[in-house]
């Protein structure tokens, strides 16, 4: 997945442009910047590649999620449905607004189960947030229909799936809003950065203001701008955006490499009786950032993760036991451990997740292994890896 593996002259050239002009900020300083507007340039490139009207670049993927929801008017006490298997950023972004993260089950797609989503919707629900974990997507059409029926927004967290598509549309562009992360380990990176994409011009205007203190960006005198509403500073710097300008130009090159490596690994495991692969919804194309498969039992999955590591096959993750990605280890959320008081709605409305039944999620995530697909491997390395993986797994099953 990581774009940093293939860092080169184009990234250096873009950053050098910014350093030469000395303008590290995305707004203002028009006379000094030598025509360089890297954040604007990257926003245009993302809108084009993702086939959307608007892109707002921000400081991180987590910020992008918060801003996307804020731009649509989500606030204290509103409920946001998200999966049990995700990254902690998902619920952080919700809590940042005083909204309530409502966890629901994932299925064999390793992301939101539509039936579980429908069951969780009530009058307080404002957003359904599928998280396209490890490069593949939820049943987006089913989720969209549920959202339309209940007048709820669909927000795609496509932070791990940039470049994948669903029914011909780039992931992130199918919902009302979509988010990407460009942190250091994502498919393309800015060092740190994120983006909100949408076809809704009001959401975009709100996101633009909200991520820069609520400034309305009218006129050329920054100090004279008005503030239609409160905001924060979630700006991206020109230095970070410059790296992204180079990297977005290489996205399709990276995706091709990922697909090649993924296919070699998948073919090697396909003939092993007892192994099955993550379900990809009809019409979906992964971005191939991970190869995710299921072992026959939880015990065998645990064993596989240990044995793969012993064989030197790094970056094969058993998320079920991982502190970052599965609800069972999120005691800070369950106990609402915070440095200060949270909004009262959060204490009143957050479900007691220690008592929740997420047996469907356990059934799938408990048997899942996801192997990161690296860009830097040579063809020989991938082939050797595929052979070793197949031997380790055959021996276990
Ligand atoms: C990385 C990631 C985020 C957060 O992105 P940052 O840029 O690191 O803040 C959110 N959701 C998912 C699924 C991620 O993988």
Q: What is the mean pLDDT of the chain?
A: 96
Three-state SS string over the chain comes to CCHHHHCCHHHHHHHHHHHHHCCCCCCCCCCCCCCCCHHHHHHHHHHHHHCCCEEEEECCHHHHHHHHHHHCCCCCCCEEEEECECCCHHHHHHHCCCCEEEEECECCCCCECHHHHHHHCCCCEEEECCECHHHCCCCHHHHHHHHHHHCCEEEEECCCCCCCEECCEECCCCCCEEEEECECCCCCCCECCEEEEECCHHHHHHHHHHCECCCCCCCCCHHHCCCCCCCCECCCCHHHHHHHHHHHCCHHHHHHHHHHHHHHHHHHHHCCCCCEECCCCCCEECCCCEEEEECCCHHHHHHHHHHHHHCCCCCEECHHHCCCCEHHHCHHHHCCCCCCCCCHHHHHHCCCCCCCCCHHHHHHHCCEEEEECCCCCCHHHHHHHHHHHHHHHHHHC
Which residue has the CA at smallest separation from atom 12 of ligand 1? 159
Q: How far is the CA of 376 from the centre of ligand 1 (A)?
A: 22
Domain boundaries 252-396, corresponding CATH code: 3.90.1150.10
| Nearest atom (ligand 1) to Cα of 93 | 10
Say whether domain 3-250 belongs to CATH 3.40.640.10.
yes
User: 360-390 pLDDT, tens per residue?
Assistant: 999 999 999 999 999 999 999 999 999 999 9
Ligand 1 atom index nearest CA of 160: 15
> Could you tell me the distance, in angstroms and rounded to a whole number, from the CA of residue 61 to the centre of ligand 1?
5
Q: Residue ranges per domain, the chain? A: 3-250, 252-396
Percent above pLDDT 90 for the chain? 94
Predicted pLDDT of residue 1: 67
123, 126, 169, 186: the active-site residue = 186
Per-residue model confidence as pLDDT tens digits over 49-71: 999 999 999 999 999 999 999 99
Q: Please say if 13 is a catalytic residue.
A: no
Q: What is the pLDDT of residues 72-88, one digit of tens each?
A: 999 999 999 999 999 99
Q: Which among 63, 80, 85, 89 is the best mutation to test ligand 1's pocket, defined by most ligand atoms within 8 Å of the CB?
A: 89
Q: Which residues line ligand 1 (CB under 6 A)?
A: 60-62, 86-87, 89-90, 131, 157, 159-160, 181, 183, 194
Q: Give 228-273 pLDDT, tens digit per residue.
A: 999 999 999 999 999 999 999 999 999 999 999 999 999 999 989 9
């Amino acid at each position: 997945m990581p774009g940093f593996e293939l860092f080169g002259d184009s990234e250096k050239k873009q950053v050098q442009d910014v350093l030469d002009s000395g303008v590290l900020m995305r707004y203002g300083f028009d006379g000094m910047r030598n025509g360089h507007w890297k954040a604007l340039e990257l926003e245009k490139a993302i809108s084009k590649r993702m086939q959307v009207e608007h892109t707002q670049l921000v400081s991180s993927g987590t910020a992008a999620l918060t801003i996307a929801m804020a731009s649509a008017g989500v606030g204290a006490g509103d409920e946001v449905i998200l999966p049990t298997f995700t990254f902690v950023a998902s619920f952080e972004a919700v809590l940042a607004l005083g909204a309530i993260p409502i966890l629901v089950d994932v299925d064999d797609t390793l992301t939101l189960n539509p039936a579980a989503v429908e069951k969780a919707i009530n009058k307080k629900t404002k957003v359904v947030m599928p998280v396209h974990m490890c490069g593949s997507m939820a049943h987006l059409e089913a989720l969209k229909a549920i959202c339309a029926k209940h007048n709820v927004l669909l927000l795609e967290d496509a932070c791990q799936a940039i470049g994948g598509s669903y029914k011909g549309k780039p992931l992130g562009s199918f919902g009302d809003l979509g988010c990407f992360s460009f942190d250091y380990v994502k498919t393309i990176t800015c060092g740190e950065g994120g983006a909100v994409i949408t076809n809704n011009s009001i959401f975009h205007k709100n996101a633009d203001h909200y991520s820069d203190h609520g400034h309305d960006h009218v006129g050329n005198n920054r100090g004279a701008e008005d503030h239609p509403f409160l905001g924060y500073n979630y700006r991206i710097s020109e230095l970070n955006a410059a790296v992204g300008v180079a990297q977005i130009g290489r996205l399709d090159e990276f995706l091709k490499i990922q697909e090649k490596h993924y296919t070699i690994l998948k073919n090697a495991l396909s003939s092993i009786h007892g192994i099955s692969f993550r379900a990809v919804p009809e019409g979906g194309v992964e971005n191939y950032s991970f190869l995710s498969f299921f072992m026959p039992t939880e015990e065998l999955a645990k064993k596989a993760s240990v044995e793969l590591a012993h064989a030197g096959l790094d970056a094969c993750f058993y998320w079920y036991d991982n502190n970052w990605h599965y609800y069972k280890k999120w005691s800070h959320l369950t106990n609402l451990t915070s440095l200060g008081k949270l909004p009262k709605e959060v204490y009143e409305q957050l479900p007691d997740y220690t008592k929740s039944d997420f047996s469907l999620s356990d059934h799938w995530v408990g048997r899942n292994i996801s192997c990161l697909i690296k860009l830097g491997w040579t063809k020989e390395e991938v082939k050797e890896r595929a052979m070793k993986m197949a031997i380790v797994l055959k021996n276990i099953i």
